[in-house]
Structure formats: C-alpha cells, structure tokens
C-alpha cells in the first residue's frame, strides 16, 4: 500500500462496517482529495515520464482533510474570503506535513506519493536521498522490505534519538540528552526550510497556521520553527506563544506582516461534512 501505516487499518474498518451494517452507505473521504489542485510542475517527479503514465507515480499529498479544515477556519477567523487568502498550513503531529494554500486551493504539499516524504516525523524519515536504498542494500545487506519498514517505523525523531513522542524528547533534552536535542533541531530546521520554500512559491502569505498535536501544544517547536523568519515578515509574540490553546488563537506581534495562528484541527467534523454533502447529493 502507498500508506502502510494507514491503509490496512482503514480497510479493516470498511470490512467490519460492511459485516455489521450491510444496508448502510459508506463514504470514503480521501486525505489526498484536497491536493488534487496541485499543478503538474509541483506533483510530477523528475523520473521517466512513462512511470507517471503507466503507474501514476506522482505527488499525491496527505493530511488534506486537516489542511482544508484549518485553511477554511483561518480565513473565517481573519474575516476574509478563502478565495482571496494565501496560507501555509502546518500539520505537526506524529505525522507531519505542510501545504501551500493559494486562494483556497492546495498548490504544493510536503508529503509525496506516500506519507514518507517531506518533514521529519515521529517514526518517518521525511526527505532522504533516494540512493540510500541501494547503498543500504550493498553496505548493510538490507532488502527493500526492511529498508521500507525502517524508513516508515524506525526513522524520523525515533531514528535520531530513540523517542517519537515529543514530550519524551523535551524531558530528555532537559536531562542533557544531546541526541534528543539534535532530533529537535533537525525537525524544526526542516520545518523552517519548507516554510521558506512555500513563501517563495506563494509570493504573498497572509498567515501561517499551526495545527495537530505538536503544532497546537508545543510552544518550543513553534518558536524554533519560526526563529529567524522576521526578515520575511513573520514576527512571533513569545508571550502569546507560551499559552496553551484549546481554541483558535494568534501568535504574531502587532507589527508582523504575516499573521500566525494556532487552530485545532477537527478532521472528524470535516469528514462528517464531506459525507453529508455526498449523501445529500445522492438523495436529490
């Protein structure tokens, strides 16, 4: 499967629901759907084009339900039309991704054909040199299945320091664990790189939006991610950033050209809305 940590569990749910509720309609809401507006220049990989034509090898993106939800919420809270708003949505949890949202449409995202590309995640590597696969086959005697499992389940923060829970990493940093400190530095540096890239792609950015478990609840990750971006108009208010958020709130200074928001995601509500829309269409 393209998403080995996700697809099997989703299929189990579908099969169980078919057995228990055979007469009830099921609606599949795909995390890739929001990213179908990404243009070819951003979703085509620089590999032989026939791989795209024959096997649909391309960037699909994931976490689309979350990115779409917080983009809509942010524009509403800003008092702007989504169609007139440019955002960078930053979903940081055990899985992490970022999306450049131009006038309500995803035009680029960090996750790729699979949920392995892009940002450093809890157990997933994010961006690595593709030649690492063949190198590990030769140097470590690993096969493709082992390498794939390693990159999905034993890499990312866990691969660097042994922990994939950010709370454990902060505790280890406080005790002087250098590998935990390094893991935090590697992740937030990667976050910063992607923000810079998406600011270049969008041109005008109205707001950055942090969401998901780490994005909503980890002031230090937000601070380190945004450090040094003042020259791009991103100015963090450290007092606001130190608060705990259970509802949407802002983190920017009064002089910041780019607004900074924390917006709790609600993928279940977004899925329910999409499902209701499909069912209503079928009944009319």
Extract the tokens encoding 249.
Answer: 């709130």
Considering only CA atoms, give the Rg of the chain. Answer: 20
206 flagged as catalytic: no
Q: Residue 62 and residue 42: Cα distance in Å, rounded?
A: 14
Q: Is 170 exposed, middle or buried (0-12, 13-18, 19+ CB in 10 A)?
A: middle
* Three-class DSSP category at 128: coil
3-class secondary structure, 29: coil
Specify the 3-state DSSP secondary structure of 119.
coil
Distances (CA, A) of 167 to 64, 134, 152, 190, 217: 26, 35, 21, 19, 10
Q: Measured at the alpha carbon of residue 132, what is the angle toward residues 128 and 138, in degrees to the nearest 5?
A: 170
Both tokens assigned to 212: 């998901």
| Euclidean distance between CA atoms 253 and 133, whole angstroms | 45
Q: Of residues 12, 31, 168, 206, which has the active-site annotation?
A: 31
Which active-site residues does the annotation give? 31
């Amino acid at each position: 499967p393209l998403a080995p940590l996700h697809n099997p569990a989703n299929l189990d749910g579908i099969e169980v629901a078919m057995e228990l509720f055979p007469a009830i309609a099921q609606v599949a809401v795909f995390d890739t759907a929001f990213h179908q507006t990404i243009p070819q220049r951003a979703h085509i990989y620089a590999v032989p084009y026939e791989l795209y034509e024959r096997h649909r090898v391309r960037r699909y993106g994931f976490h689309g339900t979350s990115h779409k939800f917080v983009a809509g919420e942010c524009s509403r809270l800003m008092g702007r039309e989504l169609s007139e708003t440019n955002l960078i949505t930053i979903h940081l949890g055990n899985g992490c991704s970022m999306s450049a949202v131009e006038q309500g449409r995803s035009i680029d995202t960090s996750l790729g054909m699979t949920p392995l590309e892009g940002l450093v995640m809890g157990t997933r590597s994010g961006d690595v040199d593709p030649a690492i696969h063949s190198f590990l086959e030769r140097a470590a005697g690993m096969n493709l299945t082992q390498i794939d499992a390693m990159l999905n389940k034993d890499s990312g923060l866990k691969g660097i320091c042994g922990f994939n829970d950010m709370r454990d990493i902060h505790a280890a940093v406080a005790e002087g664990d250098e590998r935990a400190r390094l893991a935090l530095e590697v992740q937030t540096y990667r976050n910063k790189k992607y923000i810079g890239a998406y600011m270049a792609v969008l041109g005008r950015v109205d707001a950055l939006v942090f969401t998901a478990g780490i994005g909503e609840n980890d002031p230090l990750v937000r601070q380190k991610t945004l450090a040094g971006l003042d020259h791009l108009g991103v100015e963090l208010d450290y007092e606001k950033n130190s608060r705990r958020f259970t509802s949407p709130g802002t983190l920017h200074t009064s002089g910041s050209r780019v607004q900074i928001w924390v917006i709790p995601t609600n993928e279940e509500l977004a899925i329910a809305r999409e499902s209701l829309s499909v069912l209503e269409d079928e009944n009319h």
